[in-house]
Amino acid sequence: MSERITKVTTSHWGAFEVTTENGRIVGTGPFREDPRPPPIAGVLPAAIHHRTRVTRPSVREGWLKGGKERNRDGRGQDRFIELPWDEALDIAGAELERVRSEHGNGAIFGGSYGWASAGRFHHALGQVHRFLNAIGGYVPSVASYSTAGAQAIIPHVFGMNFLKLTWGHQNSWPMIAEHTETLVMFGGINPKNAQVSMGGVTRHRTLDWLRRYLDSGMRLVNVGPQRTDTIDGAEWLPVIPGTDTALMLAMAHVLETENLVDREFLSRCTVGYDRFRDYLLGVGDGQPKTPSWAAGLCGIEAERIRALARGMASTRTLITVAWSLQRGQNGEQPYWMAAVLAAMLGQIGLPGGGVGYGYGAIGGVGVPLKRLQGLALPQGENPVKDSIPVARVADMLLRPGGPYDFNGQRKIYPDIRLVYWCGGNPFHHHQDLHRLEQAWKKPDTIIVHEPWWTATAKRADIVFPATTPYEREDIGRSPNDAFIFHMAKLIEPVGEARDDYQIFSQLAARLGAGTVFTEGRDASDWQRHLYEQFLQNAASEGIEIPPLDDLKEKNWVELPIEGPEHVTVPFASFRANPEADPLDTPSGRIEIYSDRIAGFGYDETPGHPAWREPDEWLGSPDVDKHPLHLVSPQPGDKLHSQLESALADVADARPMPIIMNPADAARRSISDGDPVIVFNDRGRCRARASVSGDIMKHVVAISTGAWFDPGVDLIDQQGNPNVLTRDIGTSRIGQGCTAHTTLVDVVRD
């Protein structure tokens, strides 16, 4: 008789039970400590054993037999030749040696952008970066598609790394519950997005907190194009996408002209308000930023803007800003302006007041937790000092040697000859995928580790079959979560799959860097070594963690690091005495006006937050041709594009739904469920109409996550919105992605 075994493991969407039988994953179930377990894991058995798994090392025929040029245009079209592991590793090692010998390590791009595993050792990003550093270095990317604009602007305003602010200087959920009276959510707070977090979120409680707030009488205001971006019962201000800064400016105008500004706080804790006030009142440009002015831009009535501003001034108010707002052209501006608005209210440093970023964008934000570091594989030192902003990959490949500006620096794109991608799917998350496809043909060689034949794997030259987290042993933990897991090896690797560490160890040996990479340890040795370091570091913090063998026996433990004793008031000491506890800005204070940014000389980003009209929005001339604004939020049924192979098999699940307002659907004779084509000058994709009054008129939404699948007519068959989005930077400050600056139209298919 076959033995059925059930164990708990974890993932970026949290912990869950996995049942195996006869060497296969046959079922999943919820983790008992999770009050609201997401349904994502339900498709796991089908995905792990899916026909799209990469089962053997594979080399693209045109690359293998194509001579010097290697038929780069064949990427995505050629067939692959399966080879034995040793032969494939020899080929990859020889090509790495050729590139670094002929062009230097600065011609290698280490492209790991993804959430490959919640396991701390088998984390693809750390593995590939350690390997490339061991063989002499590489060009990395900096920041993230989710927060690049925020990561650039926040240090100028608050003097700290954006992630440090997110996890260490924001109001916790309990503090909001106790003190906040008005919660104004730009971009909403969406429990759907909070299902996931880097390394996992074990207890999903965002929805419960929001319900508690509503039940207590707290005023919740959802500012965004979709009612569903937060809990039912919140007030909805359906703002035109890309105009949040104009709305905030109008609210600031009300505060200033009605003398609702906390001038004492501005004087003590900020710099540059007088220069910003001149802009606000129209001293230089002749345009006061009044509610009437903003109403014509953002679609919110002037009196409603005035009423909200007055209500915020008369109550303890927390302004929150979703990550989505900075994923648009000039996306740095609403982040900066939200800080200025909170400073004008004078509530930064008060419990339950001020400004916060990313609530609901990811799980773990707002949890009162003592954060313990550790369990990360050391990546070593990178001798190559060049890097690029993460969302500028296509620019780099298309314009080697070309200049670009980034956060006050003039930089030059490197000439990349080899791309090594491990953990991630750029043909999911990058913008303007047809442009990326052209850029993808430029390097000599592309090497990918991948469990599935994704669009990225299909467009590579050498593909190594990688294990999933369920086919190897690891330790699962997020620094933003109280649980730690022993992630047992649940099944044997599918096909001939190997884990990244094994692949890189064998490649490093071929390149004379085996000892540098492994330090004489196998995967099990490394996990024990890293765990022992983590245990000792935690002990120095007064936190007792069980030995590794005990953790393996127990499967998981909850660490004593979450609770009310970890609730702190962000910026309280700064507010109390900014001279004694200054911020790490040039002035030591919150910078409403930044001399440093003004010195960059960027027209789109003056020395203070400002309204800058996007190139594509519902107020631009292009609206005559493409009259609908597309937003592309995160999916609710998976993390990014993970598990998509199996989800695409579900009846009526693909192509992706496009949410449309009833008036927009009726104007096009489209009914709920109809097949449609969404298009603009950059691309076309198929979708299914989902008609709903929960989205404002002239705005449509397609969640990301469908695998890029262009047909012979180049129409994407699955509904990937990034065939439509625009591949330009947010600004020269952040150079982030601008997915939400996109106009389209829709017709019946």
Give whole-number Cα distances, 482 to 168, 170, 581, in Å.
15, 18, 30
Strand 182-186 vs strand 270-271: parallel, antiparallel, or unpaired?
Answer: unpaired
Q: Taking the model in full, what pTM does it have?
A: 0.97
Give the separation between CA 392 and CA 403, rounded to whole angstroms: 12
pLDDT tens readout for residues 293-342: 999 999 999 999 999 999 999 999 999 999 999 999 999 999 999 999 99
Is the confidence at residue 650, as pLDDT, over 90?
Answer: no
What are the structure tokens assigned to 624, written together? 């005559």
pLDDT of residue 703: 97
Cis peptide before 655 (omega within 30 of 0): yes
Query: In the structure, what pLDDT confidence band is assigned to residue 172 with cuts at 50, 70 and 90?
Result: very high
Owner of token pair 């009162």: 368
Give the separation between CA 706 and CA 643, rounded to whole angstroms: 10
Query: In the structure, what pLDDT confidence band is assigned to residue 443 with cuts at 50, 70 and 90?
Result: very high
pLDDT tens readout for residues 242-282: 999 999 999 999 999 999 999 999 999 999 999 999 999 99
Owner of token pair 């050729």: 98
Burial of residue 405 (CB within 10 Å: 0-12, 13-18, 19+) is middle
Going along the chain from its start, the domains and CATH numbers come out as 5-48 (no CATH), 58-143+382-478+489-520 (3.40.50.740), 155-370+577-600 (3.40.228.10), 621-748 (2.40.40.20)
What are the structure tokens assigned to 269, written together? 């804790």
pLDDT of residue 424: 87
For residues 394 and 737, the answer to whether their CB atoms sit within 8 Å is no
pLDDT of residue 3: 87
Active site residues: 113, 115
Is the confidence at residue 427, as pLDDT, over 80?
Answer: yes
pLDDT tens readout for residues 450-504: 999 999 999 999 999 999 999 999 999 999 999 999 999 999 999 999 999 999 9
pLDDT tens readout for residues 357-411: 999 999 999 999 998 988 999 999 999 999 999 999 999 999 999 999 999 999 9
The CA angle 636-640-92, to the nearest 5 degrees, is 160
Give the separation between CA 662 and CA 666, rounded to whole angstroms: 6
